[in-house]
């Protein structure tokens, strides 16, 4: 009996952590919107209730369904994203919702799962070798298709999420220099904003020189080193140019706050400042459930959505914050562990995508809230208010849990 | 490698977030405060300040309601009848416009003070109509209401706390009131009570959205407690009246307890002038009068060489050290030659003197001899001076006495260290310091120390630390005021001194100051003083000093009086002492002749030499009592204008 097998084989640890996070999330939404009159926490309760039938549907669909129809799901998803340009509803300047009566749906929340399925399907082909440039381009194309559709909405937060697929590809054989290039690019970007460009170039030169002379004589390639240095120089100088001339003031401000350059706490710095105050005032044990003064006073903007973690920090203190962060980390590690023991490449890649997507949401969101990442609209999975987000993440996770539960039937 | 990259990243990222959260929540505690400023408003409820009574329960200081008219500019209606409104508050239309404009500049939607410190009658008419004026409301405050027009130096005053104190003491907030000087300062915490706090939760628009945690942390205001002072209000009042047109200080103590019966400084002012709308103008005047110094409590702060009264201590120490006895006699030839070419003049009638006549005739030679013998008893003068110094310190001299008023001076009793500094090469002997014998030299005392010295002699060898607190509602006073201090002088050495003091009134310098039916023991003194006027050092009339206690057996009052530029001790200070003692012991005055004479003594012409501030003088020591006013003829003294403002008054050690 299939029913029996899912119940017996599903990973209850993941289900438990998932449930804990959803419940904690709702309690914090309840606290942060207690004094508002637009029914925020009631609606979220309905959204949560809706996940139950959703989970059942996801679990009782045939195990092979997802692999079989991955391409079609991906195609539908891309169409739904493209359709936004025609039928989308604009909220707060972003055209990324479909409105059905008073109800809104955000297709980009579901596109992540679809892209993961598509990528898994593509990589599961035994012929695929990611050492080949052609394959690399094809794989990256799958990732970039939705990004191209999401960026102009504009929704840079959702687009940023897709960068995590690079790590998934790396796990499946993408050469390390992709990851390194990405990493070094980020480091150079940050440093060229903090320091004068000539110092960044000088430091890069010194590091390159050390690497060059430390290496074995046969490995020394003066032309390659020179090209790298030239590339770095061009990049650093162009970052400065782009930052000053292409970025809009509000983009620059988002970085400047982090770099400690702007102190206008009433204007652009308001969000970050207020969220730091709310979290910082929590202390060890927090002010207690429903006792947060910042939460009650509504000082933190968007508190029930992107800034929901401030309520955790203020009302539950360091202990509560630690528990939430630890629960998330455990869930990610658990999913990776499950992914590694999958028998098919398809479900392994998909598991990796799930862990990666959830992780990058989690990190970018909390890092932004605690003031170590620029302000960017990324929800905290399972916590932030919103039906599309909650359902998107639930479907994403439970498709994988279904695959995991089903693995005994595979052969 | 590829398998561990993502898990490692997850662990590193999660740790990074935990560290950051730890920093925000645990290490950097500035956020906690910011959050309170953000979201919680504290609303204070100020309790009424405790009342002040005298030793017999007469109410001296109470409170009066005062009203601040507040305004929220945005809520003021356009059609407000300005002329009617201004009439009710007794302000001009221009004034109205100016005040509204000022409030609007501060904030159109927050309340600010429109008109402050209205008294009951000023407020009454307005109160009936206040409902008509939208945007205006009132805030009640409690201010001091002085039932008497004297005792300003004892009470001190109430003022707004300054920034420095707010930084030091977290209890106070900007705009709070605090007692300054006098008992308002020393009993601040008892009188003020504890203010109540209500915490109110605000939202981001600064609107109040209810009480914080249902008032869990709110506190109720604790009423200030009433206090009784040891002051005899009648005696205090009488002393201040006697001091009109004079400058100086009077301290009267009850020897048996150390209670301060009267503490007078002149010139003084009516405490009521430092309340209400005139407060700051008046305070500025008093504060800047650096010549008459009405805010300077001479009874506690005026340090002078005590002069002749100090001879009593010289005698007591010599008796205790056994270098003289009651019958020891000295022959005086109108002076004392203590070294080659050194001569100390003496005004006694001369001939052979014993201790008794030495005291009542205030013989310099006698006490100089006694002092030399005390010092020469020891081989090393340094050791001798320390022995002598320790005897004196047991009388509470040369140190802060520990009384419960916020100001004071140590005075000075020299020790061997003092002379080591003065004569770094040593070689000083008793002859160098003989001026100490007659209260000149390096000895300096304040009036309260002199009064305590007399109380100690009256008690024959002990004293209680002088204090002004009699009773705090339901509490005992500090035990340090009920601890007996015994001097190093044997009780048996006091009677001869007391009998000498008694004869000061019978046969000596104060024989004309006797009061029928009271045995007074007293001693006159003078202190020379100089001032720099127009750059020249000029000797002014001596300060008049008098110390006394009475009655001789079972003493009830000890008193010290210092009158600046009053001349010889028996001319002004002596009569005041007699009158004060009679007033205290008999509650009425039989020596009307003496009273009239003292009331009409004015030293204003003497003080005019130093210059002054006529505007300030106008509010200093002005008697309100019409009967008293009639008795006093205030002479018109033309204060020389354009005097150098910095007149330096100094005293000298020469005699």
Task: Answer yes or no: do B14 and A280 touch at CB < 8 A.
Answer: no
Give the nearest chain B residue to A325 (CA atoms): B14
Length of chain B: 655
Q: Of the candidates A356, A363, A370, which has its C-beta nearest B24's C-beta?
A: A370
User: pTM of whole model > 0.80?
Assistant: no
pLDDT digits (tens, 9 = 90+) for A152-206: 877 777 778 898 998 999 988 888 888 888 888 888 877 777 777 888 888 888 8
Domain count across chain B: 2
Cβ <8 Å between B201 and A340:
no
Six-digit token string for B381:
């003068």
Angle in degrees, 0-180, between the axes of helices B311-320 and B381-393, rounded to the nearest 10? 110
Q: B132 and B262 share a domain?
A: no
For B206, the token pair is: 């600064």
The 10s digit of each residue's pLDDT in A96-116 is 788 887 788 889 889 999 999
Alpha-carbon distance values, B286 to A16, A279, B412 (Å):
78, 53, 29
Distance from CA of B110 to the nearest CA of A (A): 19
Residue B47 domain-assigned (yes or no): no
Burial of residue A200, with CB atoms counted within 10 A of its CB: 0-12 exposed, 13-18 middle, 19 or more buried: buried
- B253 in the same domain as B130: no
Q: In the predicted model, what is the mean pLDDT of residues A383-396?
A: 92
B208/chain A closest Cα distance in angstroms = 9
- Are B146 and B252 found together in one domain? no
Q: How confident is the model at residue B641, as a pLDDT?
A: 45
DSSP letter, residue A155: -
Q: Does the N-terminal peptide bond of residue B267 adopt cis geometry, omega within 30 degrees of 0?
A: yes
ipTM: 0.90
- Residues in A closer than 8 angstroms to B36, CB to CB, are 281, 293
Judge if B577 and B455 occupy the same domain: yes
Could you say which of B150, B173, B204 is where a domain stops? B150
pLDDT digits (tens, 9 = 90+) for A264-308: 555 556 777 788 888 888 888 888 888 777 777 677 777 888 899
Contact check, Cβ <8 Å, B24/A279: yes
| B186 part of a folded domain | no
Instruction: Please list every residue in chain B whose beta carbon sits closer than 8 Å to the beta carbon of residue A356.
Output: 6
Residue B536 pairs with which residues in a beta bridge? B533
Asked, for residue A6, whether it belongs to a domain, the answer is yes
Task: Give A-chain residues touching B5 at CB under 8 angstroms.
Answer: 167, 170-171, 179
Domain end among B125, B150, B175: B150
In chain A, how many domains are there?
1
Q: Is A393 among the domain residues?
A: yes
Q: Taking 80 as the threshold, does the pLDDT of residue A149 lie above it?
A: yes
Whole domain around residue A405: which residue ranges?
2-174+247-409
Q: Which residues in chain B come in under a pLDDT of 50? A: 639-655
Contact B379, B437 (CB under 8 A): no
* Res B627: pLDDT: 63
Is residue B223 in some structural domain? no
Helix (H, G, I), strand (E, B) or coil at B618: coil
Residue A218 lies in a domain: no
- A361 pLDDT band (50/70/90 cuts)? very high
Range of the domain at B101: 65-150
Residue B412 sits in a domain whose CATH number is 3.40.710.10
What is the CB neighbour count within 10 angstroms for residue A264?
12
Higher pLDDT, A23 or B201: A23
A284 within some domain: yes
| Distance (Å) from the alpha carbon of B18 to chain A's nearest alpha carbon | 6
Q: Where are the alpha helices (DSSP H) in A174-247?
A: 176-194, 197-214, 222-241
Residue A71 lies in a domain: yes
Per-residue pLDDT tens digits for B455-479 = 999 999 999 999 999 988 867 788 8
Write down the pLDDT at residue B547.
93
A233 pLDDT more than 80: yes
Residues of B in contact with A345 (CB under 8 A): none
Could you read off the pLDDT of B56-110 as tens digits, one per residue? 999 999 988 888 788 888 778 888 888 888 888 888 888 888 888 888 887 776 6
Cβ contact (<8 Å) for B2 and A296? no
Mean pLDDT score of chain A: 85
Query: Which own/partner pairs from A229-238 qualify as long-range (CB within 8 Å, at least 24 positions apart)?
Result: A229/A201, A229/A204, A229/A205, A232/A188, A232/A200, A232/A201, A232/A204, A233/A201, A233/A204, A235/A185, A235/A188, A235/A192, A236/A188, A236/A192, A236/A197, A236/A200, A236/A201, A236/A204, A237/A197
> Is B171 among the domain residues?
no
- The answer to whether residue A129 neighbours chain B at the CB level (below 8 Å) is no
- What's the pLDDT at B570? 78
Residues B524 and B394 in one domain: yes
Q: Residue A276 and residue B39: Cβ atoms within 8 Å?
A: no
* Residue B387 vs residues B166, B322, B328, B381, B426: alpha-carbon distances, Å: 46, 13, 21, 10, 18
Per the model's pLDDT, the better-predicted residue between B54 and A127 turns out to be B54
Residue B28 in any domain: the answer is: no
CATH number of the domain residue B82 falls in: 3.90.1310.10
Q: In B212-353, which ranges are E strands? A: 227-229, 248-254, 259-266, 330-332, 335-339, 342-345, 351-353
Where does a domain end: B108, B134, B150? B150
End-to-end CA distance of chain B: 101
Specify the pLDDT at position A329.
96
Q: How far is CA B430 from the centre of its chain?
A: 37
Task: Please give the pLDDT value at position A151.
Answer: 82
């Amino acid at each position: 009996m299939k029913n029996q097998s899912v119940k017996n084989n599903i990973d209850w640890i993941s289900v438990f952590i998932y449930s804990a996070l959803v419940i904690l999330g709702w309690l914090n939404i309840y606290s942060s919107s207690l004094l508002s009159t637009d029914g925020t926490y009631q609606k979220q309760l309905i959204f949560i209730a809706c996940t139950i039938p959703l989970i059942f549907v996801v679990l009782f669909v045939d195990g092979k369904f997802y692999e079989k129809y991955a391409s079609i799901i991906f195609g539908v998803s891309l169409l739904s994203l493209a359709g936004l340009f025609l039928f989308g509803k604009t909220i707060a300047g972003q055209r990324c919702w479909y409105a059905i009566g008073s109800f809104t749906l955000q297709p980009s929340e579901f596109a992540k799962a679809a892209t993961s399925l598509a990528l898994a399907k593509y990589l599961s082909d035994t012929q695929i070798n990611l050492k080949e440039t052609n394959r690399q381009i094809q794989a990256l194309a799958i990732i970039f298709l939705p990004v191209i559709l999401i960026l102009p909405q504009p929704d840079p937060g959702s687009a940023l999420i897709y960068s995590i697929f690079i790590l998934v590809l790396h796990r499946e054989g993408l050469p390390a220099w992709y990851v390194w290039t990405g990493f070094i690019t980020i480091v150079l970007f940050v440093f060229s904003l903090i320091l004068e460009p000539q110092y960044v170039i000088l430091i890069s030169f010194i590091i390159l020189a050390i690497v060059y002379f430390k290496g074995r004589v046969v490995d020394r390639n003066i032309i390659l080193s020179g090209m790298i240095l030239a590339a770095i120089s061009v990049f650093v100088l162009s970052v400065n140019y782009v930052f000053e001339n292409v970025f809009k003031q509000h983009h620059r401000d988002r970085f400047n706050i982090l770099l400690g350059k702007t102190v206008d706490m009433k204007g652009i710095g308001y969000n970050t400042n207020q969220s730091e105050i709310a979290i910082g005032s929590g202390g060890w044990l927090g002010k207690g459930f429903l006792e947060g003064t910042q939460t009650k006073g509504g000082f933190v903007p968007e508190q029930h959505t992107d800034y929901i973690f401030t309520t955790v920090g203020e009302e539950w203190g360091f202990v509560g914050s630690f528990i939430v962060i630890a629960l998330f980390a455990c869930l990610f590690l658990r999913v990776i562990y499950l992914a590694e023991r999958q028998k098919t490449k398809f479900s392994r890649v998909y598991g990796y995508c799930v862990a990666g997507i959830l992780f990058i949401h989690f990190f970018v969101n909390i890092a932004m809230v605690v003031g170590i990442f620029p302000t960017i609209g990324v929800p905290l999975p399972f916590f932030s208010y919103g039906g599309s987000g909650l359902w998107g993440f639930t479907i994403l996770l439970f498709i994988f849990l279904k695959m995991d539960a089903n693995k005994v039937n595979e052969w | 490698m590829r398998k561990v990259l993502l898990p490692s990243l997850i662990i590193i990222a999660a740790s990074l977030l935990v560290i950051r959260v730890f920093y925000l929540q645990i290490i950097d505690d500035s956020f906690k405060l910011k959050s309170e400023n953000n979201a919680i408003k504290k609303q204070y409820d100020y309790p009424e300040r405790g009342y002040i009574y005298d030793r017999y329960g007469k109410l001296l200081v109470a409170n009066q309601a005062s009203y601040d008219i507040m305004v929220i500019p945005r809520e003021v209606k356009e059609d407000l009848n300005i002329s009617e409104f201004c009439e009710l508050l007794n302000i001009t239309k221009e004034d109205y416009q100016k005040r509204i404009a000022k409030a609007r500049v501060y904030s159109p939607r927050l309340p600010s003070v429109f008109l402050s410190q209205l008294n009951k009658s000023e407020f009454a008419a307005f109160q009936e109509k206040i409902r008509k004026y939208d945007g205006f409301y009132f805030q009640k405050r409690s201010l001091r209401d002085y039932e008497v027009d004297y005792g300003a130096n004892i009470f001190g005053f109430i003022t707004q706390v300054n920034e420095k104190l707010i930084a030091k003491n977290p209890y106070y907030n900007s705009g709070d009131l605090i007692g300054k000087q006098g008992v308002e300062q020393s009993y601040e915490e008892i009188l003020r009570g504890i203010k109540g706090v209500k915490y109110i939760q605000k939202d981001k628009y600064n609107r109040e959205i209810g009480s914080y945690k249902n008032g869990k942390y709110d506190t109720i205001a604790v009423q200030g407690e009433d206090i009784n002072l040891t002051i005899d209000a009648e005696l205090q009042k009488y002393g201040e009246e006697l001091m009109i047109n004079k400058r100086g200080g009077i301290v009267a103590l009850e020897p048996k307890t150390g209670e301060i019966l009267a503490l007078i400084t002149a010139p003084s002012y009516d405490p009521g002038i430092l309340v209400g709308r005139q407060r700051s103008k008046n305070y500025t005047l008093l504060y800047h009068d650096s010549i008459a110094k009405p805010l300077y409590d001479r009874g506690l702060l005026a340090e002078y060489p005590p002069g002749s009264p100090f001879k009593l201590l010289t005698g007591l120490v010599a008796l205790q050290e056994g270098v003289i006895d009651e019958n020891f006699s000295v022959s005086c030839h109108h002076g004392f030659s203590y070294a080659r070419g050194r001569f100390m003049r003496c005004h006694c009638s001369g001939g052979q003197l014993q201790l008794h006549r030495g005291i009542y005739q205030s013989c310099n030679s006698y006490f100089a001899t006694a002092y030399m013998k005390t010092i020469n008893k020891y081989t090393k003068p340094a050791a001798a001076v320390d022995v002598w110094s320790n005897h004196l310190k047991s009388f509470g001299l040369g140190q802060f006495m520990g009384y419960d008023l916020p100001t004071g001076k140590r005075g000075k009793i020299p020790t061997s260290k003092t002379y080591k500094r003065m004569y770094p090469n040593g070689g000083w002997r008793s002859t160098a310091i003989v001026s100490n014998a007659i209260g000149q030299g390096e000895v300096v005392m304040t009036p309260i120390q002199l009064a305590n010295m007399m109380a100690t002699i009256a008690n024959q060898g002990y004293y209680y630390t002088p204090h002004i607190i009699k009773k705090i509602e339901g509490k005992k006073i500090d035990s340090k005021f009920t601890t007996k201090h015994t001097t190093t002088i044997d009780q048996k050495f006091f009677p001869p001194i007391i009998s000498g003091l008694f004869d000061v009134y019978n046969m000596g310098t104060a024989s004309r100051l006797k009061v029928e039916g009271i045995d007074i023991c007293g001693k006159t003194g003078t202190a020379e003083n100089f001032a720099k006027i127009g750059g020249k050092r000029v000797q002014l009339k001596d300060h008049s000093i008098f110390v006394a206690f009475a009655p001789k057996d079972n003493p009830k009052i000890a008193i010290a009086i210092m009158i600046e530029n009053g001349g010889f001790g028996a001319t002004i200070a002596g009569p005041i002492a007699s009158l004060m003692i009679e007033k205290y012991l008999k509650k009425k005055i039989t020596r009307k002749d003496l009273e009239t004479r003292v009331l009409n003594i004015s030293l204003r012409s003497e003080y005019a030499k130093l210059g002054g501030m006529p505007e300030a003088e106008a509010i200093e020591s002005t008697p309100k009592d019409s009967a008293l006013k009639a008795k006093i003829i205030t002479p018109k003294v033309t204060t020389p204008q354009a005097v150098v403002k910095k007149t330096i008054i100094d005293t000298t050690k020469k005699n």
